Each structure stands twice: as C-alpha cells, then as structure tokens.
C-alpha cells in the first residue's frame, strides 16, 4: 500500500470545511485527557499513600479503650490485672497497654534534639508508651541495641511531665537525628526531650508508623517504657493467626466482667482503623476512577454518535468512492485517519491543558507536579480511545454498497 492511499491531505482539507464539528470533538478529547491524566496521577499518588506499610501486624490485631469512673476505680491495679488477663487468654499472641494506635489519627508527639537547650534543631516524633511486650505485640524487630527489660518499665501517673530514661526509636528517626552516624551506632547515645531532659537510646526498631497518616515524618517514632494510670487506657492485642475475630468478643466480655467500674468502648481492628484513616483517599480514588471511566465513555459515545451521523450524511459520497475503486479497507481507513487527525489536535491541546490544570492543582491545593511521562501516555490513551470509538461507524461505512452511487435519493 502506498502512502498516496492514506489521503491525509484531502481528509484534512475536507475537515477544514467542517471545522465546528471537528473542533467540538477535539476540545472534548482535550478536556477528557486533562481530567483523565490528572485523575490517574492523583489516583496513583493516593494509592501509594495507602500502600505504605505501618510496620505492625495489622491483620491479626485489634484494640479497645477502657474508661474508668467512680471513686473506687484504681487505674494501676486495673492496668496490671487487665494485661495479665488478656495475655493469658487463649488465642492471644501478645498484648500491651498503649497510649495511641498507629495510623489511627490521634496520638502524642514531642520534639527531640541531640543537644539540650532552646533554639536547637529538633525532630518531631510520635510517642508510644508501652512495655517490653511491644516488640512481639506490634510485630517489631530490634535491629540494634536491646529491647526494654521489665525493670525499665515505670508506672506513669496522670500529670507527670518527665520521661523514662531509656527509649527505643525507629531506624528512620535515628537517621534523622544523627544523619552522619550509622543507625547501629546511635544505640547508647543521649537524645533530649522537652528541650533539656536526656534519654538514652536503648535500641533501634525496624519500623513503626506514627498515628497521623498525613504527617511528613510518618516513621519518626519513639517507644517509651511505661504503663499509664490515666482514666482512659488502650489495650492493643495481637492475636494468633486467624484468631482475631474469635477472641475479640471474648476479651471484651472478660474485661467488662472483671471490673464494673469502667466502660469498654471503641473496640476495633487495626484493619478497620487503617480503612477509616485512608477513607478519604480510598473515596477519592473511587470517585476519580468512576468519573474518568464515565467521562471516557461519554467522549467515546460522542465520537461514535458524530461519526455515525457523518457516515449517514456521507452515504452517497461513500458509495461514490466505492464506485471509483475504494476498497472497504480504504473506507475504514478514511474514517480512522479523519478521527486520528481530530484526535491529534485534541491531544495536543489536551497536553497543554493537562499541564495547566496540574499547575493550578499544585498552586491551589499543593498537589505534586505531574511526572512528564503522564502526558504522552495520556495522549496515546486518548488516541486509542478515539480509534476504538470510530472503528464501529467506520466498519458500518465500509458496508455501504458501491451501488449507492447510482441510487437517486
């Protein structure tokens, strides 16, 4: 087949005689591309956010809160009794009392520094108050130094402001605090909390996220060895594989009946908590995906509709072309090329609009800038959509018999 048969010149000139229809489709393609590319970009970013690993055994874990009331409520004995009760429940792998739950959205953060005093460089870190069982309960690994010993763990009364002497920190925090030191060598170093209070890094744990999924320093985490005597306490329970759902009601019931001076509330699996924390992102992904798909279908159907009309209107012309020697393939090709030309204008305009919209999103909503390759990828997608959409009407056009040329309409 020679390139002469592609008829690009005549198709283009004929298109220029019917600009409005072509421009309408081109703009539709451009706007569709703009939305699709920016949506995909946002979707991928959100998906990446959601997929970040919290570092804990989410699947097998749950937690609950107990709030005591009345004069007879003794937080300290309750905490120790509760922990013993939970840990001895069959199906429980390990359990801890903890002040906040990773990825849950609420917690406690402090600033840490490597030199004491005001106006020093600080690193924020989330605090989890736990005992030596945390490593097993949270499924962490001490990759340097050592875990807490029971003797390290103190009882913290409400209103207490100071901090335990030994802490475990995450590898990421170790590297942020001591950028020039291998994390293994951070073990034994002193860091300062509340500007001047020293604490010694007893060990480095591999990874555990802070409670706030939107926080920049998501893996800046400090474990402090303490059992708290607050009115409300949380217990975090890691079940043996597959046992979680079975033991949740058992533990709730056991705790409730062991002490009537409190209420048990907010029992929830970590999976559900993650789902809630990322609900906005999940929703955004679903909404944008749906929008994108529907929009592409609308644009596709628009192309189908207009092409069908154009085929109907050009029946005689198509018959004539067939009479003059066009094969069915030539007719199909004619419409495909016509669409390709329109799409090319559309996706070129679309490339510009895509970048502009992204710039606006960056400006107004501090989104990230688009990676360049999204633009050509989007262009190809819209080209393909156009070609697929026009293929049906083009095939229909090819079935118009050559005898249409001699028919008097």
Partner 1 sequence: MLTMTDVKKVFRTDLIETHALRDFNLQVDEGEFVAVTGPSGSGKTTFLNIAGLLETFEGGTYQLDGQNVSHLNDRQRSQLRNEKIGFIFQSFNLIPDLNLFDNVDVPLRYRGFKRNERKKRIEESLELVGLANRMKHLPSQLSGGQQQRVAIARALAGNPRFLLADEPTGNLDTKMALSVLELLKQINQQGTTIVMVTHDQHLASQAKRNIYVRDGQVSEMSGIAEPAHIEMHQAAIG
Partner 2 sequence: MFTYYLRLAMKSIKRNPILSALMITAIGLGIGASMTTVTVNYLMSANPIPHKSEQLFYVQLDSWSEFEPAREPNEPPDQITWTEATNLMQANQAYRQSAMASTGGVIEPQGQDEKPFMASIRLAFSDFFPMFDVPFLYGSGWPDSSDKNRDYVVVISKATNERVFGGENSIGRTIRIVGENFRVVGVLDDWLLVPRFYDVTTGAFDETEEVFMPFYMKQELELTNGGNTNCWKTPEGEGFTAFLQSECVNYQMWVELRNDNEKAQYMNFLDNYVNEQKSLGRFARPLNNRLSNVMEWMENQEVVADDAQIMMWVSFMFLLVCLLNTIGLLLAKFTGKAAEIGLRRAVGASKTDLFIQHLVETACIGIAGGILGLGLAYLGLEGIKSLYGEFVQNLVGLDVTMMASAILLALVSSILAGMYPTWRACNIAPASQLKS
Interface positions with partner 1 (CB under 8 A): 1-2, 4-5, 7, 9-10, 13-14, 17-18, 316-317, 319-330, 401-403, 405-406, 408
For residue 205, the Cα-to-chain-centroid distance in whole angstroms is 25
Least distance between partner 2 and beta carbon 35 (Å): 5
Asked whether the beta carbons of 64 and 254 are under 8 A apart, the reply is no
Q: Should residue 28 be labelled a site residue for partner 2 when binding is judged by CB under 8 A?
A: yes
Give the pairing type, strands 232-239 and 92-98: antiparallel
Q: Which is nearer to partner 2, 137 or 213 (CB)?
A: 213
Nearest to 113 by CA among 172, 170, 194: 194
Determine, following the binding rule CB under 8 A, whether residue 277 of this chain makes contact with partner 2. no
Query: From the list partner 2, partner 1, none, which binds 142 (C-beta under 5 to 8 Å, kind-based)?
Result: none
Distance (Å, rounded) from C-alpha 211 to C-alpha 106?
Answer: 6
Pick the closer one to partner 2 by CB: 21 or 376. 21
Contact between 158 and partner 2 per CB under 8 A: yes
Q: 265 pairs with which residues across the strands? A: 65
Nearer CB in complex with partner 2: 4/72:
72
> Quick one: 25 or 56, whose CB is closer to partner 2?
25
Contacts (CB under 8 A) with partner 2, residues 178-217? 194-195
In angstroms, give the least distance from the CB of 42 to partner 1. Answer: 42
Q: Write out the two tokens for 113.
A: 């520094």
* Residue 19: contacted member of partner 2, partner 1, none (CB under 5 to 8 Å, by partner type): none
Nearer to partner 2, 67 or 387 (CB): 67
42 scored as a contact of partner 2 (CB under 8 A): yes
Query: Contact between 232 and partner 2 (CB under 8 A)?
Result: yes
Q: Which residue, 150 or 325, has its beta carbon nearer to partner 1?
A: 325
Stretch that binds partner 2, among 62-70, 241-249, 372-380, 395-403 (CB under 8 A): 62-70
Query: Which residues lie near partner 2 (CB under 8 A)?
Result: 20-21, 24-25, 27-28, 31-32, 34-35, 38-39, 42, 67, 69-71, 118-119, 158-161, 194-195, 230-232, 263, 265, 276, 279-280, 282-284, 286-288, 291, 294-295, 298-299, 301-302, 305-306, 309-310, 312-313, 361, 364-365, 408-409
């Amino acid at each position: 087949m020679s390139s002469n048969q592609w008829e690009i010149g005549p198709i283009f000139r004929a298109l220029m005689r019917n600009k409005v229809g072509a421009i309408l489709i081109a703009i539709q393609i451009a706007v569709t591309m703009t939305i699709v590319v920016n949506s995909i970009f946002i979707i991928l970013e959100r998906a990446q956010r959601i997929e970040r690993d919290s570092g804990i055994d989410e699947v097998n874990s749950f937690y609950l809160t107990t709030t005591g009331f009345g004069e007879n409520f003794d937080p300290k004995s309750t905490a120790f009794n509760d922990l013993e009760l939970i840990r001895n429940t069959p199906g429980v792998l390990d359990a801890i009392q903890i002040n906040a739950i990773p990825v849950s959205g609420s917690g406690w953060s402090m600033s840490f520094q490597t030199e004491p005093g005001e106006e020093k460089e600080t690193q924020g870190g989330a605090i989890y108050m736990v005992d030596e069982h945390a490593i097993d309960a949270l499924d962490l690994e001490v990759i340097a130094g050592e875990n807490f010993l029971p003797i390290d763990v103190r009882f913290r009364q409400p209103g207490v402001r100071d901090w335990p002497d030994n802490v475990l920190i995450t590898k990421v925090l170790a590297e942020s605090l001591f950028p020039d030191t291998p994390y293994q060598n951070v073990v034994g170093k002193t860091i300062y909390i509340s500007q001047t209070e020293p604490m010694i890094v007893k060990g480095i744990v591999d990874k555990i996220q802070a409670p706030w999924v939107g926080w920049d320093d998501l893996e800046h985490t400090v474990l402090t060895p303490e059992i708290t005597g607050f009115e409300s306490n949380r217990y975090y329970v890691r079940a043996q594989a597959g046992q979680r759902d079975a033991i949740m009601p058992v533990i709730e019931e056991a705790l409730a009946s062991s002490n009537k001076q409190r209420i048990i509330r907010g029992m929830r699996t970590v999976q559900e908590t993650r789902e809630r924390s990322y609900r906005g992102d999940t929703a955004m992904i679903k909404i944008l995906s749906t929008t994108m798909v529907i929009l592409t279908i609308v644009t596709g159907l628009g192309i189908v509709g207009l092409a069908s009309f154009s085929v109907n209107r050009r029946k005689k012309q198509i018959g004539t072309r067939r009479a003059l020697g066009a094969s069915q393939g030539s007719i199909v090709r004619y419409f495909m090329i016509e669409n390709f030309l329109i799409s090319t204008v559309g996706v070129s305009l679309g490339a510009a609009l895509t970048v502009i919209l992204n710039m606006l999103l960056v400006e107004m909503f501090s989104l990230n800038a688009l990676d360049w390759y999204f633009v050509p990828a989007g262009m190809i997608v819209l080209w393909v959509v156009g070609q697929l959409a026009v293929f049906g009407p083009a095939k229909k056009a090819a079935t118009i018999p050559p005898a249409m040329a001699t028919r008097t309409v």
